[in-house]
Amino acid sequence: MQWAEQSESRRHRSRCRRRCRLPTGHPRMPRYQPARIEPKWQAWWDAHGTFATPRLPPPGAAKAYLLDMFPYPSGDGLHVGHPEGYTATDIVARFERMRGTAVMHPMGFDAFGLPAEEHAIRTGTPPRESTERNIATFRRQLKMLGFSYDWGRELATTDPEYVRWTQWIFLVLFDTWFDPERQQGRPIAELPIPPAITAAGEEAVARYRDEHRLAYQSEAPVNWCPALGTVLANEEVIGGVSERGGHPVVRIPLRQWMLRITAYADRLDRELDGLGWPESIKKLQRDWIGRSTGAEVDFFVPPAGADEPSAFEAWKRQRAETGYPATPAADVLRIYTTRPDTLYGVTCMVVAPEHPLLDRLTTPDQREAITAYCEAASRKSDLDRTDLAREKTGVFTGSHVIHPLTGAAVPVWVADYVLASYGTGAIMSVPAHDDRDFEFATTFGLEITTVIEPLDGNPVEGLFTGRGRAIASGPYTGLETAGFIERVAADLEAAGLGRPAVNYKLRDWLFSRQRFWGEPFPILHEVDDQDRPTGVVRPVAEAELPVPLPPLTDFKPGDTPDPPLSRAGHEWLFIERDGRRYRRETNTMPQWAGSCWYYLRFLDPGNTERFLDPEVEHAWMPVDLYVGGAEHAVLHLLYARFWHKVLHDRGHVSHPEPFGRLVNQGMILGEMEFTGYRAAGGGWISAEQRTEADTPVRLPAEQVEKQGEHFVLRDMPAIRVESRAYKMSKSRGNVVNPDEVVREFGADSLRLYEMFMGPLEATKPWSTTGVGGVRTFLDRCWRLVLDERADDLVLAPQVVDEPASDEQLRELHRMIDKVTRDIEALSFNTAIARMMEFVNFCTPLPRRPQALLEPFVTVLAPFAPHLAEELWEVLGKPAPVSLAPWPTVDEKWLRDETVEIPVQVQGKLRGRVVVPADADAAALQAAATTDPRIAELLTGRTIAKVVAVPGRMINFVLAKSEPQS
RNA sequence: GCCGGAGUGGCGGAAUGGCAGACGCGACGGAUUCAAAAUCCGUUGCCCGCAAGGGCGUGUGGGUUCAAGUCCCACCUCCGGCACCA
């Protein structure tokens, strides 16, 4: 394995050396040397401002906003996955520019983030320093690839001016409440205050407002690891201990900033409809939002010692009068269900361990068990609690509630498979028709009552979760699921016992982090003379933004969940305004904040008056094409849409959605690998028989061959070998470095290769010989125009200034037509294939008319811009080809005079005939039947039918005949 | 378990229901060269055949159609995502 890798890379290196070095003895021989021409043209574009974008599109011009997901500038530098999407948008940007479209094509850096902070903790270097260093590397690498960004618009989310407006948007969220009736965010000043609140005084009004803001504070349980001194994400907690170090983790409530994204759940779901996004991504978002419809139902909690039937009847009478209350009082257990048609199958209730009513429902003899159970549950992370493989656990509370329709007593249990954060934190358990309830009931030997049977009438033993027809359901017996749900929900509502309800899996967005390297919140907490918070919160005035990060030297987390910013000096931490003393908010925003609106700031990056000029916004938005990895299918794209909608509601942007068309580039895997397995004894073992004990060994391709379905060892065909490509990773050692590829093959080759690998959206393995293949193509382009044997850059002797032939023009215009359509469809691999065919066509020509080469170079320009500029110059055309007009296709060259038509007999290809392009069905048939082979096949047979598609094919269908003996 | 996506030569991949394998890699042969590299030209799905030609071929099994890689049904495998949301 070692050996194979070494020999391979040695081969690459030696090939590179041959290619890149000037040929000895002919120092001026003008070979294609990307290392020379690429920096030259990058500097030229820079100096001439070739890609600078005006503030507004010129009057009358179409606009195109072509956006890449901006990178996090990691210390590892650019990965070959980055240029894949970047090249795609760059080709479109360059193409659109050449067509006269006003193009917005910016780039920046998503520069807040954990790695920089961890680096800072390790080394003591301020995160800003390492971040700036990494940005410099990324910028150099992006420029090296010749992307046509307007670098004048570059921004980093960490720029103080950018942070200023991120904080400003937070204040917009803070100043907004969601009006459910209008389904719209509105200024907090317009929030109607109930008279009772007004009467209670100014403080009550302030509290009421705070409770309705889109940015609000709440006590949320978090994973706190005392040993590590930090709060951990759910994914970082395994089995109740920290993934790193195995330290205990406790769930503690902590004051957190939340964003009320759930208010927009419905719009975020519905407004996906019109977007030009992949259906799979829309579905991911819909699933994440997780809208479900059903009903809420109240189960009566009988007061201790009361006569239950009469208390229940009294409660029902009261409910019939007052109706269903918006918030449940302590006399009911409220549940949410998507299947109210199974109400008659309820055999038990289950509440989450955190349910507020649990304490009241617990009887003295069960208290000890319940307390122990809840404590154990509180120590588990969400991840442990939702581990499906785990057996159901739970404890009986000792008490019961009354079923609102049947009046039956239903026992109440507590179990952690019920989540406090969804619905009402309590469920009705219907074991016969829900698999989780079934499992729970089976574990604890609870009753199972069947109330639904399948529509086909065959009764089902045990669990049936499908829709069907109700049985043993009182007045609803015989109804089908949909009708039952509709009717029972209406009946419950009329009786004040329940109502139709909608629920979302989406939770409000926990927006604060106990980290240093993020945007400080522009929020002040009032403190008393002992520095204790009074609970009054005040936003920092807009004019005082940005709130900068304090200078710190120690970024380490502390012993308490207190954020690093709380260790800032007093001069940062405390501030006086209007005679009151305030302490700054010390949490910071998560990394998502900056990426929620960068696409807006690109349009107006230098604006010091506002976050974005409305005139500019109106002219460029929405984004016409957004390309990036599918890993952002949910979070980034959902968060950005949410912010955008709030900004829209508040009148700051003119479109409800930011990204019109979205495309996900596929992942680039490492090179294909063959893996054999050695058993403990040293002998080979076939891949399908291997066990954990066998050692994987990477094999060179020469030792492997394909036999039937599988790859086997060439020398031992009984031994199967695995063949696949893996995700690039440092630990696997299969990471391809763009710097090295550019050094060996050139930036144009890297760009072209990544586009030629396959469809943009497909996952595809890297192949270094494949890069060599496109490099060969570029070499051929070079030689098509230039004389490699001359001493200077001069045209090849075959290049002539004479008119192109009809055949050549036909070839040229077809190529232009295909490439144009393929760019529009983002089908770059086939566009490149077509250009290759064109070069293959031109190479053997003894005389190559300039009229053929010049349009070709313009078409090549979006793909291999540096080479195209150089060829353009040698052809004597004024630079830059990057802004030359895209060649127009002359339709007349797309039409053929004659076409070759396949002739089928009984659906099988039996010959071809050449006919005029406009030959109709009759002419086709006449031509086909004169072909001797076809005529012979038709002799003595009856033609039952002739299917002739003019310009396409002809098929003779024969009548059935007796088999000849 | 659920939801996506994909299965086509040795490999990456092309193919509005109408000539399967464009283009590239690799391999093989030739020209050039003292030799090699580079370059240029050619061959390359499998099987039978000297050839002309024929047969078979797009994960598997069915179906629709004059015609299926493409449409429909069932299944298998791989990749990715989600995962007790009542």
Sequence-distant (6+) residues with CB within 8 A of A475 are none
Phi-psi map region of A864: left, alpha, beta (phi>0 left; psi -120 to 50 alpha): beta
Average pLDDT over residues A551-557: 80
What pLDDT does A964 receive?
A: 40
- Range with the poorest average pLDDT among A372-386, A830-844, A868-882, A900-914: A372-386
Percent of chain A with pLDDT over 90: 61
Residue type, position A327, single letter: T
Express each pLDDT in A593-650 by its tens digit: 999 999 999 999 999 999 999 999 999 999 999 999 888 888 899 999 999 999 999 9
CA–CA dist A197, A182 (Å, integer): 23
What pLDDT does A222 receive?
A: 77
Helix (H, G, I), strand (E, B) or coil at A260: coil
Average pLDDT over residues A272-301: 91
Residue pair A470/A341 in contact by the 8 Å Cβ criterion: yes
Task: Please report, for residues A342, A705, A711, A716, the alpha-carbon distance to residue A685 in angstroms, rounded to integers and kept in the order given.
Answer: 55, 16, 13, 10
Spatial distance from the CA of A953 to the C1' of B65 (Å): 16
CA–CA dist A32, A775 (Å, integer): 10
Which nucleotide's C1' atom has the smallest distance to the CA of A504?
Answer: B85
Average pLDDT over residues A541-550: 95
Q: Which two tokens stand for residue A190?
A: 């317009």
CA–CA dist A300, A497 (Å, integer): 9
Spatial distance from the CA of A392 to the C1' of B3 (Å): 25
Cis? peptide before A696, omega within 30° of 0: no
Task: Please report, for residues A671, A713, A715, A826, the alpha-carbon distance to residue A677 in angstroms, rounded to integers and kept in the order given.
Answer: 19, 11, 14, 41
Express each pLDDT in A377-433 by its tens digit: 877 665 566 555 567 889 999 999 999 999 999 999 999 889 888 999 999 999 999
Could you tell me the sign of the dihedral formed by the alpha carbons of A850, A852, A857, A858, in that order?
A: positive
Which nucleotide's C1' atom has the smallest distance to the CA of A436?
Answer: B84
pLDDT at A23 over 50: no
**Which amino acid residue lies closest to nucleotide B9, measuring CA to C1'?**
A706
pLDDT at A590 over 80: yes
Average pLDDT over residues A495-501: 94
pLDDT at A250 over 80: no
Which nucleotide's C1' atom has the smallest distance to the CA of A633?
Answer: B81
Place of tokens 């076809």: A934
Express each pLDDT in A846-894 by its tens digit: 899 999 999 999 999 999 999 999 999 999 999 899 999 999 999 999 8
Strands (E), A190-291: 215-225, 230-232, 237-238, 241-242, 250-259
pLDDT class of A37 with cuts at 50, 70, 90: very high
What pLDDT does A24 receive?
A: 39
Residue type, position A604, single letter: D
To 5 degrees, how large is the angle CA A209–CA A210–CA A216?
145
pLDDT at A1 over 50: no
Specify the DSSP class assigned to residue A278.
-
Quote ipTM for the complex.
0.95
CA dihedral A380, A386, A391, A394 (to 10 degrees): 60
Helix (H, G, I), strand (E, B) or coil at A299: strand
Could you tell me the sign of the dihedral formed by the alpha carbons of A858, A860, A863, A867, in that order?
A: negative
Spatial distance from the CA of A941 to the C1' of B51 (Å): 29
pLDDT at A237 over 70: no
What pLDDT does A259 receive?
A: 93
What pLDDT does A280 receive?
A: 85
CA–CA dist A336, A351 (Å, integer): 11
CA–CA dist A780, A793 (Å, integer): 15
Spatial distance from the CA of A752 to the C1' of B74 (Å): 42
Spatial distance from the CA of A836 to the C1' of B69 (Å): 25
Residue pair A925/A946 in contact by the 8 Å Cβ criterion: yes
What pLDDT does A2 receive?
A: 23
Express each pLDDT in A668-716 by its tens digit: 999 988 888 888 888 888 887 877 788 888 888 878 888 777 888 888 8
Q: Which two tokens stand for residue A490?
A: 């209406």
List chain A domain ranges.
30-157+595-665, 215-258, 292-503, 672-730, 740-893, 898-958
Which nucleotide's C1' atom has the smallest distance to the CA of A667?
Answer: B80
Q: Which top CATH class is A292-503?
A: alpha beta
CA–CA dist A450, A437 (Å, integer): 13
DSSP sequence for A695-731: EEEEE-GGGEEEETTEEEESS-TTSEEEEEEEE--TT
pLDDT class of A239 with cuts at 50, 70, 90: low
Q: Which two tokens stand for residue A37?
A: 């021409």
Could you tell me which of A702, A570, A598 has the C-alpha nearest to residue A658? Answer: A598
Alpha helices (H) along A294-411: 308-322, 358-361, 364-379, 382-385
Which nucleotide's C1' atom has the smallest distance to the CA of A759?
Answer: B13
**Which amino acid residue lies closest to nucleotide B40, measuring CA to C1'?**
A844
What pLDDT does A389 receive?
A: 54
Mean pLDDT of chain A: 89
Helix (H, G, I), strand (E, B) or coil at A488: helix
Place of tokens 């047979």: A941
Which one is predicted more confidently, A236 or A823? Answer: A823
CA–CA dist A34, A944 (Å, integer): 63
pLDDT class of A115 with cuts at 50, 70, 90: confident
Which nucleotide's C1' atom has the smallest distance to the CA of A415?
Answer: B84
Spatial distance from the CA of A12 to the C1' of B34 (Å): 28
Express each pLDDT in A39-95 by its tens digit: 999 999 999 999 999 999 999 999 999 999 999 999 989 999 999 999 999 999 999
Residue pair A449/A345 in contact by the 8 Å Cβ criterion: yes
pLDDT class of A240 with cuts at 50, 70, 90: low
Average pLDDT over residues A242-249: 70
**Which amino acid residue lies closest to nucleotide B37, measuring CA to C1'?**
A18
**Which amino acid residue lies closest to nucleotide B11, measuring CA to C1'?**
A672
pLDDT class of A225 with cuts at 50, 70, 90: confident
CA–CA dist A834, A815 (Å, integer): 6
Which nucleotide's C1' atom has the smallest distance to the CA of A505?
Answer: B85
Strand B nucleotides where any atom sits below 7 Å of a protein CB:
3-5, 10-16, 18-20, 22-26, 37-41, 54-55, 66-68, 79-86
Residue pair A664/A630 in contact by the 8 Å Cβ criterion: yes
Spatial distance from the CA of A765 to the C1' of B6 (Å): 14
Which one is predicted more confidently, A221 or A552? Answer: A552
Sequence-distant (6+) residues with CB within 8 A of A177 are A185, A186, A187, A188, A190, A191, A209, A212, A213, A214
CATH number for the region A30-157+595-665 comes to: 3.40.50.620
CA–CA dist A5, A356 (Å, integer): 62
Spatial distance from the CA of A844 to the C1' of B32 (Å): 16
Which nucleotide's C1' atom has the smallest distance to the CA of A833?
Answer: B23
- Range with the poorest average pLDDT among A197-211, A257-271, A449-463, A535-549: A449-463
Cis? peptide before A328, omega within 30° of 0: no
Which nucleotide's C1' atom has the smallest distance to the CA of A705?
Answer: B10
Spatial distance from the CA of A890 to the C1' of B38 (Å): 38
Average pLDDT over residues A276-299: 91
Percent of residues in chain A assigned helix, strand, coil, to nearest 5: 40, 20, 40
Average pLDDT over residues A908-923: 85
Spatial distance from the CA of A900 to the C1' of B38 (Å): 39
Residue A205 CA neighbour count, 13 Å, CB half: 13
H or E element in which residue A750 lies:
helix A747-756
pLDDT at A898 over 80: yes
Phi-psi map region of A729: left, alpha, beta (phi>0 left; psi -120 to 50 alpha): beta
pLDDT class of A19 with cuts at 50, 70, 90: very low
Alpha helices (H) along A152-194: 160-174
pLDDT class of A22 with cuts at 50, 70, 90: very low
Spatial distance from the CA of A721 to the C1' of B29 (Å): 31
Residue A292, φ and ψ in degrees, nearest 5: -135, 150
Q: How far is CA A97 from the centre of its chain?
A: 28
Residue pair A642/A259 in contact by the 8 Å Cβ criterion: yes
For the beta carbon of residue A950, count every other beta carbon within 10 angstroms.
17
Sequence-distant (6+) residues with CB within 8 A of A465 are A433, A434, A435
What pLDDT does A56 receive?
A: 97
Residue pair A146/A41 in contact by the 8 Å Cβ criterion: yes
To 5 degrees, how large is the angle CA A844–CA A753–CA A154?
125
CA–CA dist A953, A955 (Å, integer): 7
**Which amino acid residue lies closest to nucleotide B25, measuring CA to C1'?**
A770
**Domain made up of A898-958: CATH architecture:** Roll (3.10)
Q: Which top CATH class is A740-893?
A: mainly alpha
Residue type, position A131, single letter: T
Average pLDDT over residues A466-488: 91
- Range with the poorest average pLDDT among A56-65, A218-227, A232-241, A890-899: A232-241
